[in-house]
Structure 1
Amino acid sequence: MLRTRRLEPLDHYTAAAESASARIIAAYSTSFGLATRLLGRRHRRHIRNIYALVRVADELVDGVAAEAGLGPAEQRRELDDLEVETELAMRTGYSANPIVHAFARTAGGAAIDAALTRPFFASMRMDLPPDPDARGARPEQALTRTRAFGPDEHAAYVHGSAEVVGIMCLRVFMRDEAVGPETVRRLEHGARQLGAAFQNVNFLRDIGDDTERLGRAYLGGEVEMTPQLQQRWVDTIRGQLADAEAVLPLLPRDARGAVGCALRLFERLTERIARTPAPALRRGRVRVSNPVKAWLAVRSMLASPASLPSRKADIG
């Protein structure tokens, strides 16, 4: 229960907005909830605020708006409006949309700006169905059963949907740290690689739903999963995870445990994907059991036993 009686009106509203963001995240991902609980208190709500906005946009383009009866043009308009509202909130520090407001309050204290949100929304736009009434639209686009993302489209999509989100989280973690440009460069590379690995793992886990329900094939233009293609993506993901793990010690200790837990979870998922016959990937989602998740969390916390206190007032 929120204790907001003594807060000023804006702080009261911000606390309520952040509570809404936490509820959005809890409703959609138990694994993410576990990882955020391993974060230091100064980080938790800000990471939830980021991922709540990501989830709202993702649900919009993944069928919720269509199920509500919105056509392609209306879905695009809703996403455009969400982006405009997000940029306005980042400039003003306020939005009447609680999820956008919570994100903007985090963004304002962590140097998150439109240079990161615009690629994200651009990737979300790639998921929208083609508008048959739009100028230049080809009729055959609307009839295509599965849209295959070519290598360039895959790279652009992963950059906006995952790599920039990794950078947003990194900026939250490092907002109180004094580090040099070379360390920043290494950390940003690791954050991008970790985000890309997470996204590519989920592409492999969701290949059946993506192709059959959403009509999308994200993995470099390949619609059918073959053992050779499976191995190629497993090798790619292993390299991305290794790059991320190499910079893990550079993170503040109160972020290291949570990021390490997420990294180990996706390492485990990758190995299970590698052992799954390629045709079976379309028939079921590869998962890790809750006891294994708990063990990974304990292992991660033992590897990062202490938390660093904040050296600056918390943002919010």
Structure 2
Amino acid sequence: MKTTHRGEATGLSLYDRAAEDAAATVIAHYSTSFGLACRLLGPRPRPHVRNVYALVRVADEVVDGPAEEAGLSPEATSEVLDQLEHEVMAAISRGFSANLVVHAFARTARECGIGEDLVAPFFASMRTDLTTSSHDAASHDAYVYGSAEVVGLMCLQVFVNAGAPRPVAPAPDLVEGARRLGAAFQDVNFLRDLNHDGQVLGRDYLGLSQPGDQRAAVLDRIDADLAAAARAIPALPPDCRRAVTAAHDLFAELATRLRADHGDARVRVPDAVKARLAARAMLGFAPREVRA
């Protein structure tokens, strides 16, 4: 590591630190709930999880409005997304990117074993947002896998491998739990954002705008996914359990409120309740029981 005469990092070490700070800034601007859960992670996995979510957020923003607001056509937006995916894969291969968020993600990917098998499905789902406005059951499942389940699997790679000499494959029960938790998170977000997705973005992920509202079935699926994920959380490394429990319980609370609320306002969890859920997780309580 290069340092100045005062012992401060320079060169690549300074660049790495700036990249991690850039990732943390992205998260701070876009997700207070995620920021709360991330603070419950131990110092070993915390910066890596922020690096994953920062890249995910940037890609999501490309397809969710800012690029269009900047005057880009759908074709130009697709090209930007393609370029971002190419830069991510190149950075994982070479270990460097001029894009600070990509550089931070690539460092995490190289250390924790995140490869094309997870990156490619994620970008495929992001690309779907540019071409598909209404989903059936099959396309919903494919979209959720790429947009959410693989993000859970990326985080799992971090939980298991951050700081290890070389990455190893997580246990099958942890893989199942990560996928189910990611799917639950995504379906909760679909329900919360139903009006915005339909009216502003022109997208229907759940088919609830069509005759035969299946809202209760979606909530039942969410509960089943949350229950399955809860069973895997105790097997996570100790410095990850509290954060994942807090996130699980927050979305369980959102699911409960969504089941009780059919209004147009976006359902949210009050800050006092978030703090209580975080405190409960911090004290080491098991994930909230969800009846599937």
The answer to whether TM tops 0.5 is yes
Counterpart position of 1:144: none
Alignment of 1:1-316 (within 5 A): 6-129=8-131, 147-175=133-161, 184-219=171-206, 221-224=207-210, 228-277=213-262, 280=263, 283-303=264-284
Secondary structure of the corresponding residue to residue 42 of structure 1: coil
1:52-89: CA deviation from partner (whole Å, max 9, x where unpaired): 00000000000110000000110000000000000000
Structure-1 separation of matches of 2:38 and 2:168: 27
- What count of residue pairs does the alignment treat as equivalent? 280
Q: 1:120 to 1:179 in 2, by over 3 A?
A: closer
Runs of 4+ in 1 over 4 A off after TM superposition: 176-181
Instruction: Note the C-alpha offset of 1:293.
Output: 0.4
The answer (yes or no) to whether the contact 2:112–2:167 under 8 Å persists in 1 is no
1:266-316: CA deviation from partner (whole Å, max 9, x where unpaired): 000000001112xx2xx21110011100000000011269xxxxxxxxxxx
One-letter amino acid of the counterpart of residue 106, structure 2: A
The answer (yes or no) to whether the contact 1:256–1:304 under 8 Å persists in 2 is no
Backbone CA RMSD of aligned residues: 2.1
The answer (yes or no) to whether the contact 1:253–1:304 under 8 Å persists in 2 is no
Structure-2 separation of matches of 1:119 and 1:65: 21
Q: Which runs of 5+ in 1 are unaligned?
A: 131-146, 306-316
Structure-2 separation of matches of 1:262 and 1:36: 9
The answer (yes or no) to whether the contact 1:148–1:223 under 8 Å persists in 2 is no
Instruction: Note the C-alpha offset of 1:43.
Output: 1.0
Instruction: Note the C-alpha offset of 1:19.
Output: 0.2
The answer (yes or no) to whether the contact 2:38–2:46 under 8 Å persists in 1 is yes
* Seq. identity, %: 51
One-letter amino acid of the counterpart of residue 125, structure 2: S
Greater RCO, CA 8 A, separation 6+: 1
Structure-2 separation of matches of 1:64 and 1:58: 10
Q: 1:180 to 1:49 in 2, by over 3 A?
A: closer
Structure-1 separation of matches of 2:209 and 2:76: 28
One-letter amino acid of the counterpart of residue 297, structure 1: A
1:179-228: CA deviation from partner (whole Å, max 9, x where unpaired): 997x7100000000000000000000000000000000001x342486x5
Structure-2 separation of matches of 1:289 and 1:224: 31
TM-score, scaled relative to structure 1 = 0.85
Structure-1 separation of matches of 2:278 and 2:252: 13
Q: Which runs of 5+ in 2 are unaligned?
A: 287-292
Instruction: Note the C-alpha offset of 1:247.
Output: 0.6
One-letter amino acid of the counterpart of residue 39, structure 1: L
Secondary structure of the corresponding residue to residue 101 of structure 1: helix
Structure-2 separation of matches of 1:86 and 1:284: 37
The answer (yes or no) to whether the contact 1:20–1:98 under 8 Å persists in 2 is yes
Structure-2 separation of matches of 1:179 and 1:22: 24
TM-score, scaled relative to structure 2 = 0.91
